[in-house]
Copies of this chain bind each other. A is one copy, B any other.
C-alpha cells in the first residue's frame, strides 16, 4: 500500500468521523440549532477541520442524505440486475432494501424533505446539487421500472392512472407519515393506527369489495 493510498484512506476515515458526529448532533438538536462547533466537539476535531472536508454547514447536512441515497441506489441496482428474478421477487427485495435504509436512519424522510427546502439547496455547490438530482432521478426510475416490467409482463394488473389519485394519495399518506415522524422524533412507542393498514389499500386503489 503506497503512501498515496494510506492518505486517501485516512482522509475517508476523517470524513466518516465527521459525518457520524454530524448525524448524531443534527438528530438531537435539529439543523438550525446545531452549530458547527457542536459537531466539531462531537467529532473531537476543531471547527476549522470540518471545512477541510465539507464546503459549509449545508453541504455537510446534505452529505448525510446523499450517503443514504447512494446506499439505496446501489442496493436497488443489485436488486434489478439479477436477470432471473420474477417481478414479485423484485418487489420483495425492494421492500427489504427500503427497510434496511430505514433501520440505518429512521429520520431519512424528514431529512430528505428538509433538504428539499430552498433554504438549503441554494447553498450547495453545483456538483453536489447535480449529484443529488441525478441520484434521486435514477433511484425513482429504477423503482418505476420494477413495477413497469411487472405490468408489461402481465404479472401485475395494469391500473389506469386515476385522475388526481397520486396527489390525493400523497396527501393522505403525508398526514400519516406526519404521525409516524412524530413517533420517530419523540421516540415514543405510539404505533401508527392499525386501521391504516386497510386505509392504505382502499385509498390507493379506490376499490372496495
Contacts and interface: CB of A to CB of B under 8 A. Distances in A.
A184 interface: yes
Interface in A123-153: 136, 139-141, 143-145, 147-148, 150-151
Interface string A142-184: 0111011011001111111110111111111111111111101
Given A110-B185, A177-B174, A202-B156, A196 B166 contact: yes
A130 to B, nearest CB: 14
Interface stretch (A9-17, A35-43, A48-56, A99-107): A99-107
A101 to B, nearest CB: 7
Centre residue among A194, A203, A204, A209 by max chain B CB count within 10 A: A204
A150 B208 contact: yes
Number of copies: 4
Nearest to A204: B200
Contacts of A117: 30-31, 110, 114, 185
A164 to B, nearest CB: 6
Interface of A: 28-33, 87-88, 91, 94-95, 98-99, 101-102, 106-110, 112-114, 116-119, 122, 136, 139-141, 143-145, 147-148, 150-151, 154-162, 164-182, 184-185, 191-205, 208-209
Given A143-B175, A150-B198, A173-B177, 12 more contacts: A98-B175, A99-B168, A113-B177, A114-B117, A144-B195, A144-B199, A148-B195, A156-B208, A166-B192, A170-B173, A174-B177, A200-B204
